[in-house]
Amino acid sequence: MYVVSAQQMREIDRFTIEQIGIPSLVLMENAGVAVVREVEKRWPYGNIVILAGPGNNGGDGLVVARHLMNRGRDVSVWLFGEENKRSEDCRRQVDMLLNCGYTIREWREGQNEALKADMREARVIIDALLGTGTRGELRPPYPLVIEQLQQCESKVVAVDIPTGVDSDTGKTLQHAVQADLTVTFAFPKWGHFLYPGAAYVGELVVADISIPSRATSEFVLKDQLLTAEGMQKKLPQRPRFSHKGTYGHALIIAGSKEMTGAPVLSAAAGLRTGCGLLTLAIPEPALPIVAGKINEPVFWEWPAESGHFACGSYAFLKQRVSSFDVVAIGPGLGKWTGGNQWLSEIIRMVDVPLILDADALNLLSEDLSILRAKKSPVILTPHPGEMGRLCGCKTADVEKDRVGYAREFAQKYQVYVVLKGTYTLIATPDGRIFVNPTGSAALAKGGSGDVLTGMLAGMLAQTEDIESGIQLAVFIHGLAGEICGAKSMYATLAGDIIDAIGPALQKLSFAGDSFRTDFPGN
C-alpha cells in the first residue's frame, strides 16, 4: 500500500474527479461513510459531537453527521469558519443537512460554553476541523477548541489526520488533537508514521473511497507501507520434500571477550526464522562461553587480538565465503584499533548479501569509504544513534527527518538501510522507502537489535529476493514484539522475542481477512 504526501493525494483526487469523472461529492460521501462504519463498529451507543471546519475535511465531517442522524444517533454538529470561506463541497453538505431538517450550530464566541458542555457529555467527538489543507499555525478559535476537547473524557476520532498534525512531516503545531482513532482515505500519509504527529493518530484505519488504480498509476508513487497481506504472499514456502540445504546457510560474525550474549541471541533468532544451517564465527577466547549457551550453530573459532577479531586471518573465510548464502557482522564485536581495516577486508571478500549491524556500523563510521569496495548487496541496520554517527550528525537530527536521512544514505552509498525505531523504515539503493507498521514498546530493550540481525540473516538465507527478505524479517520481528507486548510491555527480554518468532510466523502464515497489526500508539 502506497504512502503519499498531501500533494500526491490532491493530484490523485484531481485526476479521479476530472479525468475519470467520479464527482468530488462521491469521494466525500465515501469518506464520510467509511468514518461512520468505523465509529459504529466501536461505539454503537452514546451521543456524538461533530466539529466541522470550513474546508473539505469539514465536508467529510458533515457527511458523517448526516449518516449518523439518519440512523437515529444523537448527534450535535458544530460548524466553524466564516460562511464565505467554506469550500464548495462543504457548502453543499451544509445544504444537504439543512434540507434533511437536521440542525447545525455555527460556532460563535458567545456559544463557547454550550460547545464545552456538549463535548463534555459526548461519547465520541469527531475531529473534522482541518485536514491536509492546513497552512501555518492554527488560527482562533481552533487552539481554544482543541484545548477544551483535550479536557473531555470522550473518545476522539480524527477524520483523515488529527487537526494540528502536518500530514507530510508529522510535525505538530502548538495545538494538536490527540485521537483514539484516525480514519484516513485511499492511502496513508507520511504524517501518520512520523514522530511526534504519529503519536496523535491512535489506531489508524485506511479506508477505500473508490479511487481507481488507473488514477494511481498516472503518478510515480514509490514509497509503501508493508501489509500483512503482502508479507504473507512473500513468506518462503516450506515444502515437505526439503532438507536443511533447501533453506540456506547463514554466517554470523559476532562477539568479543566482553560480549558473549549478543552472538547467542542473533544465532538463535536466525535459526528460529528458518534458515537450514547457521555458522557462528567467534573470536577464540569468547568461543567456549558462547558455545556453552547454544547448541545448534556450527562454530568457527577466529584468531583473536586482545579479545577481538584479529586482522590478517582471512584465508579460511576466502575459501569458504561463497558456501554461505548471507553474512551478518556486528553484534557484540566491540570497537578496537584496526577494526575498520578488519571490516574493510571482509567487505572486499564477501560476495553474498552482507548485513552490518551494531559495532560493525560504528567501525564503518570511522571510514565510510570502505563501503565502495563492496561486491554484493549490503544491508545496514542502524538505530537513530548509529545513523547519526554514519551521517556525521546528531541523533536528534535523524529523528527529525528519518525518511530523508535513510533515503539519502541508501542512495549515496547504494546500500539498503533499515532505520530502526517505531515504524522502522527500509530504504533501498534506488531511493524507495518501505514503512513497517508492526512493533511494540516491548522491543525497546537491549538485545532486540541482535535478534533482528539474526532474523535478517535467517530470512535472507532462504529468500532469493533481498528486498522481500528484509521486509519479512523486519515485519515478523515487529509481530514478535507485539506478541511479547500483549504479555508485558515491561518484562520482555530479547530471548522472549526469539520465542515469539514461531508464533509470529504462524500468525502471518494463517493471516486471513481479520488480521490487523496493532499500530503503535494504540
Ligand X SMILES: NC(=O)C1=CN([C@@H]2O[C@H](COP(=O)(O)OP(=O)(O)OC[C@H]3O[C@@H](n4cnc5c(N)ncnc54)[C@H](O)[C@@H]3O)[C@@H](O)[C@H]2O)[C@H](O)CC1
DSSP state of 493: -
Give the residue with the Cβ less far from ligand X, 157 or 343.
157
> Do residues 138 and 163 touch, judged by C-beta distance below 8 A?
yes
Q: Which residues contact 95 (CB under 8 A, 6 or more apart)?
A: none
User: What is the Cα–Cα distance from 43 to 33, expressed in whole angstroms?
Assistant: 15
User: What is the Cα–Cα distance from 304 to 98, expressed in whole angstroms?
Assistant: 81
Q: Which residues are annotated as a binding site for AMP?
A: 420-424, 449
Does 424 contact K ion by CB under 5 A? no
The dihedral through the CA atoms of 26, 28, 29, 31 has a sign that is positive
Give the residue with the Cβ less far from ligand X, 124 or 290.
124
Minimum CB distance to ligand X, residue 414 (Å): 35
139: partner contacted, choices ligand X, K ion, none (Cβ within 5-8 A by kind)? ligand X
SS3 category, 357: coil
Does 15 contact ligand X by CB under 6 A? no
Minimum CB distance to ligand X, residue 226 (Å): 21
Contact string (CB under 5 A) for K ion, positions 499-518, x = contact: --------------------
| Grid cell at residue 496 | 522472549
DSSP state of 2: B
| Grid cell at residue 197 | 504527529
127: partner contacted, choices K ion, ligand X, none (Cβ within 5-8 A by kind)? K ion
Minimum CB distance to ligand X, residue 129 (Å): 8
User: What is the Cα–Cα distance from 333 to 350, expressed in whole angstroms?
Assistant: 18
Give the residue with the Cβ less far from K ion, 60 or 223.
60
**Residue positions counted in the chain:** 522
Phi then psi for residue 17, to 5 deg, are: -75, -50
> Do residues 335 and 306 touch, judged by C-beta distance below 8 A?
no
Rounded alpha-carbon distances, angstroms, from residue 494 to 334, 356, 371: 19, 19, 30
163: partner contacted, choices K ion, ligand X, none (Cβ within 5-8 A by kind)? K ion
Does 127 contact K ion by CB under 5 A? yes
Residues 84-103, interacting with ligand X (CB under 6 A): 85, 87
**Position with the least CB separation from K ion:** 163
Give the residue with the Cβ less far from ligand X, 55 or 170.
55
What percentage of the chain's residues is helix, strand, coil (to nearest 5)? Answer: 45, 15, 40
User: What is the Cα–Cα distance from 191 to 403, expressed in whole angstroms?
Assistant: 11
Does 166 contact K ion by CB under 5 A? no
Q: Which residues are annotated as a binding site for (6S)-NADPHX?
A: 56-60, 131-137, 142, 160, 262, 332, 383, 450
User: What is the Cα–Cα distance from 36 to 66, expressed in whole angstroms?
Assistant: 10
Minimum CB distance to ligand X, residue 228 (Å): 23
Give the residue with the Cβ less far from ligand X, 186 or 287.
186
Give the residue with the Cβ less far from ligand X, 169 or 232.
169
Minimum CB distance to ligand X, residue 55 (Å): 2
Minimum CB distance to K ion, residue 332 (Å): 47
Phi then psi for residue 458, to 5 deg, are: -60, -35
| Grid cell at residue 68 | 449518523
Does 13 contact ligand X by CB under 6 A? yes
Minimum CB distance to ligand X, residue 208 (Å): 11
> Do residues 177 and 149 touch, judged by C-beta distance below 8 A?
yes
135: partner contacted, choices K ion, ligand X, none (Cβ within 5-8 A by kind)? ligand X
Q: Which residues are annotated as a binding site for K(+)?
A: 57, 127, 163
Q: Which of 132, 163, 182, 438 binds K ion (CB under 5 A)?
A: 163
Q: Which of 5, 8, 9, 15 binds ligand X (CB under 6 A)?
A: 9
Give how far the C-alpha of residue 62 lies from the chain's centroid of Cα atoms, to the nearest Å.
31
For the chain, how many helices (H) and strands (E)?
20, 19
> What are the start-end ranges of the H helices in 4-137?
6-15, 24-42, 56-70, 88-99, 112-121
User: What is the Cα–Cα distance from 263 to 295, expressed in whole angstroms?
Assistant: 13
The dihedral through the CA atoms of 383, 387, 393, 399 has a sign that is negative
Q: Which residues are annotated as a binding site?
A: 56-60, 127, 131-137, 142, 160, 163, 262, 332, 383, 420-424, 449-450
358: partner contacted, choices ligand X, K ion, none (Cβ within 5-8 A by kind)? none
DSSP state of 381: -
Contact string (CB under 6 A) for ligand X, positions 128-167, x = contact: --xxxxxxxxxx--x----------------xx-------
Give the residue with the Cβ less far from ligand X, 129 or 483.
129
138: partner contacted, choices K ion, ligand X, none (Cβ within 5-8 A by kind)? ligand X
> Do residues 222 and 407 touch, judged by C-beta distance below 8 A?
no
The dihedral through the CA atoms of 9, 11, 12, 18 has a sign that is positive
Give the residue with the Cβ less far from ligand X, 147 or 296.
147
Minimum CB distance to ligand X, residue 30 (Å): 8
Residues 251-280, interacting with ligand X (CB under 6 A): none
- Report strand pairing: 425-427 vs 203-207: unpaired
CA-based R_g, the chain, Å: 26
Contact string (CB under 6 A) for ligand X, positions 182-221, x = contact: ---xx----------------------x------------
Residues 22-61, interacting with ligand X (CB under 6 A): 27-28, 31, 53-60
28: partner contacted, choices ligand X, K ion, none (Cβ within 5-8 A by kind)? ligand X
Q: Which residues would be at the binding site for ligand X (CB under 6 A)?
A: 9, 13, 27-28, 31, 53-60, 81, 85, 87, 130-139, 142, 159-160, 185-186, 209
